[in-house]
Amino acid sequence: MEMEDHNLSKFTVINDPQSLNDKISAIRNAGPSKLQVIADFDATLTRYWIDGSRGQSSHGLLQQGNREYDAKKQALFEYYHPLEFSPTIPLEEKTKLMEEWWGKTHGLLIQGGLTYNAIKNSVANANIAFRDGVVELFEFLEERDIPVLIFSAGLADIIEEVLRQKVHRSYKNIKIVSNQMVFDSGCLVSFKGKLIHSLNKNEHALDMTASHHDQTGGIDGPVTDNASMKQRTNVLLLGDHIGDLGMSDGLNYENRISVGFLNDNIEKNLESYRNAFDIVYLNDTPMWGVMKLAAQLCSMEVD
């Protein structure tokens, strides 16, 4: 497969090159059948900046078509969002606050009469786009039957609609681990499974979710059952927050290569990111570096 040549060296930070090379060798020698990819969605697979303005998140783009309820959702955001990033609130208390926030927001979506058409229209009008190279990465992994778990504290139905409208196809190897909506006669009536919020999205959430499904044609097909995911003990993890490293919790992995996208506030956060992730990409970089890494991991050359 042809891959565009992009020199990303000036936007790439690797804290321990020897450790990274050792992991690459171990994963490559084990083969693609042992590999899985775990990725955050917002500001990881999607761009942080679009034409000079901040790209929207999968949760933030949703417009209910009901001004009263949109205003109530915004008020919840303004109250809870600062608490999510407060350094003084203990984790246990913060987790309860996040459950409150997500629960109230989901309640408003139901009470406000959210329709699937509103989701379609919201995505069509949203300022959201995948990083360059994401589609090529998805295709490369699909060709090799390497599963991709997209973890998000947002809404699975919106992520599916973004994939549908921006990529115009589905992938048999992609599973979305996120909050799933239940519609009746085109209106939202409930949510499936346990609530997934920003502080509990990890591999344990697999048991709460269904396969990535196509709204127009049912399930795309079984991606991989959870037991066989556990057999894939090598992980390529992509995230934009240090907390995203928790997405592989619950998986007894042998080797994990973690890639962090540091999109903003670089000087303030670089030290903590470089210590946490194996590779850090700066300034809202395209996905070509990860594409090159995936090709290395799947190379048949033996050291």
Q: Are strands 234-239 and 218-219 parallel, antiparallel or unpaired?
A: unpaired
CA distances from 29 to 15, 25, 43, 54, 289 (A): 23, 6, 31, 40, 20
CB 260 within 8 A of CB 59: no
Instruction: Tell how many helices (H) and how many strands (E) occur in the chain.
Output: 9, 12
With the CA atoms of 61, 62, 63 and 65 taken in that order, what torsion angle do they form, in degrees rounded to the nearest 10? 160
CB 224 within 8 A of CB 175: yes
Among 5, 42, 264, 278, which one carries the catalytic annotation?
42
User: In what order do the strands lie in the sheet containing 148-155?
Assistant: 12-14, 279-282, 255-262, 234-239, 35-40, 148-155, 174-184, 187-192
Extract the tokens encoding 227. Answer: 């037991």
Angle made by CA atoms 157, 150, 201, in degrees to the nearest 5: 95
Extract the tokens encoding 238. Answer: 């992509």
Extract the tokens encoding 173. Answer: 């190897």
Is there a catalytic annotation at residue 42?
Answer: yes
Q: How far apart are CA 215 and CA 217, in angstroms?
A: 6
CB 167 within 8 A of CB 69: no
Is there a catalytic annotation at residue 40?
Answer: yes
Among 40, 157, 278, 284, which one carries the catalytic annotation?
40
Extract the tokens encoding 292. Answer: 């090159």
Q: Which residues contact 89 (CB under 8 A, 6 or more apart)?
A: 83, 97
Catalytic residues: 40, 42
